[in-house]
Amino acid sequence: MKIGVLALQGAVAEHIRMLNQAGAEAVAVKKAEELRDLDGLVIPGGESTAIGKMMRKYGFMEALQPFAAEKKPIFGTCAGAILLAKEIVGQEEAYLRFMDTTVERNAYGRQKDSFEVSLPIAGVAPDFPAVFIRAPYIVEVRGAGQVLAKYDNKIVAAREGQFLAAAFHPELTEDSRFHKYFLDMVKEYREDKAPV
């Protein structure tokens, strides 16, 4: 399995390390044409507005439409979860609009308000060490979406088909279970696509 990590900003090396640890071949993706060879993509944290601008500038907004249409899984963490959402509170335009979710940016305060908490995540782990850094949260999950985890009664992880979103940073831990869950999604997609 070849998984790309969008390398415009954020914890790219950490995601690559985790994906390799979970059993994938992980590569940094800097150009839209590099999406062609991938089985899945991780959109890491960072600053959603800055990443959104760079995605537009380098043609990722257009290139990710056929990628998603091929049912290739995409995992957005922190800012990545914002980029996947259909609606962003207080912002007129969303970015990729792949997940039928509404997100609230910087919902957990500033950098100094960062924290870690042990979180039960459906299908992933009963005790995942979730690291929150200027994290968003998911206000609402609609349609076919599933809530995977809540913290303080707020949704912090969700899945909709081939799309996965986490408000926290699973790559900043030593725990690869969330990345393994994503790789299982990629395997599902590949098996569905394989000729019978």
Which positions are catalytic? 78, 169, 171
Is residue 141 within 8 Å of residue 191, measured between CB atoms? no
Handedness of CA 127, 128, 132, 135 (dihedral sign): negative
Q: Which residues contact 106 (CB under 8 A, 6 or more apart)?
A: 134, 135, 136
Q: Is 81 exposed, middle or buried (0-12, 13-18, 19+ CB in 10 A)?
A: buried
Where helices occur in 43-154 by DSSP H, the ranges are: 48-57, 60-69, 79-84
Helix H or strand E encompassing 178: helix 177-193
What is the residue whose two structure tokens read 């599902």?
188
